[in-house]
Structure 1
Amino acid sequence: MKIDQLKSRIESSVNLDFGGIFSESIELFKKVWVQGLVTFLIMMACIMPFYLIIYIPMFAAGFNDPQSFESDQPPVWFAVLMIVFMPIFLLAVMTISNGLMAAFYRICKLKDKEEMGKDDYFRFLKGENLKKSFVLGLYATGLTFLGMLACGIGVIYVMVPVSLFPVFLAFRQDLTAAEIVKASFALGNKNWLVIFGLLLVCGFLANLGVIACYIGLFFTAMFGKIPLYFVYKNSLGFDADEQHEQPILEA
């Protein structure tokens, strides 16, 4: 089975170098910051309607009954809304994020290897790729809730393999969603500390954009995601994966 072969390659791969990946990420960011900005803006535009679904009823209720949110306990209808809608909201965010991030990583590869190709930001949000992004969103949502049940500690653990979902989605389109999850856990577990450290440090640096009146965050936010591209590249490479890129099949 291809997943067994892939897991064997992961196990036999070299240990990742934190400093090397960090330096490579800085250099690649100089090439893809525009595409990162576009990806971030598209992501915000796609997620914004779901925020409105939450906040519009709150504003309407507060306008009609200003005292409804003054007590220590929120209104029953609001608690029910959050319980019902939050899983849907998280699933939508995960699905959109998986698709857009996979497209961004594909663009990173084009720029890194100086290949010709179209900056197709919605490549993984249509056809069969959308279905796979959705299923991965289900996995990510379920794993996140399971992590929360473990007093939140589990969330810290699963954030590493879950963050690798879009990378495998981008470069191993021959894998099913379940196989992507297995491969992500295999790679994440092998290099958990290095990947977690990269996410932590680069994520912190990416958020320094808030210093520029928060506008800078739009330009720097995607820097925190670039190390995952090099995690995949330095562990598995691309030569054997070129054959796995498949045309998009419309639903």
Structure 2
Amino acid sequence: MDATTLNKIIAGSKPLGFGDIMSRSFDLFKKVWLQGFLTLILTFVCLVPFYLLLYIPLVFMGISDPDMLGKDKMSTPAIIWMAVFLPIIVMAAMVVSIAFTSAFLRICKQKDSGATGADDYFFFFKGRYFGKMIVLGLIAFGLSIIGALLCGVGLLYLIVPLSLIPAFFAFRPEMSPMEIVKAGFQLGNKNWLVIFGLIIVMGIVAELGIILCGIGILFTAMLSKIPLYFIYKDGVGFNGQNVPLEE
């Protein structure tokens, strides 16, 4: 399926159903809660080195200059370090999040269809998809910056198309990064209010896991990602996609 055909499918698709997607998301969560937990843990583990890279030098700066900790303003070296590496950390977080979320959505499809096979959490970290993962992260980071510069209103709008990037990357990885982003905008614009509502409501519900002694959120957080699978399934479908993706 090329990008033109995909665009026609999205244009001709029926409006998404808020209640239906939410209901099916809860049902599927019962099958993938463990995979969601593992996805979240792996995401944290992969990001730890980046956070260490950011904060360890700051710790040494504080040790070498104890007075720095008591000042109202950060020292010039600390400001420069944060200015250089903080964007890198944010971009890395986006790249890693896209990769693991895409892998999780593939697992959701596998469990939903009853297919057998190993849960490949690192599918997009290898082979020809790795480069696309980096580019998609860069695009998402750039769009987020643009949205933030528009007084936050732009970022509010971009929440929907940006959230759909992992879905299209998961199920149409042969598309170019720009085609994936454009498809996300097309499907997002057509069903913006429904998708935005699902993101907000399911995000709030997923956060309720914190009630379970705080640690419960580790098991419920990925509930907020499951609707993306059904949004893609209902908005695009899986015709001709039953063949396993190449590595």
Class of the TM-score when normalised by the shorter of the 2 chains = over 0.9
1: CA distance between counterparts of 2:141 and 2:69?
29
By how many angstroms is 1:131 displaced?
0.8
Q: Does 1:49 align with 2:39?
A: no
1: CA distance between counterparts of 2:158 and 2:241?
25
Structure 1 partner of 2:197: 197
Q: Mapping of 1:1-251 within 5 angstroms? A: 2-242=2-242, 245-248=244-247
Count residues in correspondence.
247
**Equivalent residue letter for 2:241:** D
| Gap runs ≥5 in structure 1 | none
By how many angstroms is 1:169 displaced?
0.9
By how many angstroms is 1:43 displaced?
0.4
**Equivalent residue letter for 1:125:** F
2: CA distance between counterparts of 1:69 and 1:75?
9
2: CA distance between counterparts of 1:213 and 1:138?
36
Q: 1:133-184: per-residue Cα shift (whole Å, max 9, x none)?
A: 1110010010011111111221111121111111111111221111101101
2: CA distance between counterparts of 1:163 and 1:125?
19
CA RMSD of aligned residues (A): 1.4
By how many angstroms is 1:84 displaced?
1.1
TM-score, normalised with respect to structure 1: 0.94
Moved more, 114-123 or 55-64: 55-64
By how many angstroms is 1:67 displaced?
2.5
| Gap runs ≥5 in structure 2 | none
Identity in percent: 48
Contact 2:54 2:86 survives alignment (8 Å): no
Aligned partner of residue 151 in structure 1, secondary structure: coil
**Equivalent residue letter for 1:29:** F
Moved more, 139-148 or 47-56: 47-56
TM-score, normalised with respect to structure 2: 0.95
